[in-house]
Amino acid sequence: MADELTPAQRSMRASIAAHSRWAREPDRKEAMRPALDGMLARFEKQVDPDGVLEPHIRAERAESAKKAYYKALQLKSSRARAANRGKQKAA
């Protein structure tokens, strides 16, 4: 079919849509609020699934859990880049 897109074309189309949406957004910070609140709730649930901790303790632990999550992503990314460099040298 003529309407079928390759994965790269679908990605490009999605990128165009995302950039177009953000270009029209008058308050980007407020538009991100639900996503940021959801992410924070995820980490709070992770560190206090029963909701028994004091709010300030839960918030401190959630912040640490968030930092650990992002550090793990950094490590994974770093290892992937190193592996890709090794593949490029071998080629």
Instruction: Please report whether residue 48 resides in a domain.
Output: yes
DSSP 8-class letter at 53: S
In whole angstroms, how far apart are CA 78 and each of 37, 66, 81? Answer: 28, 18, 5
Mean pLDDT calculated for residue range 17-42? 95
Angle at the Cα of 75 (from 72 to 78), degrees rounded to 5?
150
* 46, 67 Cβ separation under 8 angstroms: no
Q: Residue 2's pLDDT is what?
A: 61
2 lies in a domain? no
Condensed to tens digits (0 to 9), the pLDDT of residues 31-76 reads 999 999 999 999 999 999 999 999 999 999 999 999 999 999 999 9
- List the end-to-end C-alpha distance of the chain, in Å, as a whole number: 36
The number of distinct structural domains making up the chain is 1
Q: Note down the domain range covering 15.
A: 7-90
Q: How confident is the model at residue 80 (pLDDT cuts 50, 70, 90)?
A: very high
Is 1 a domain residue? no
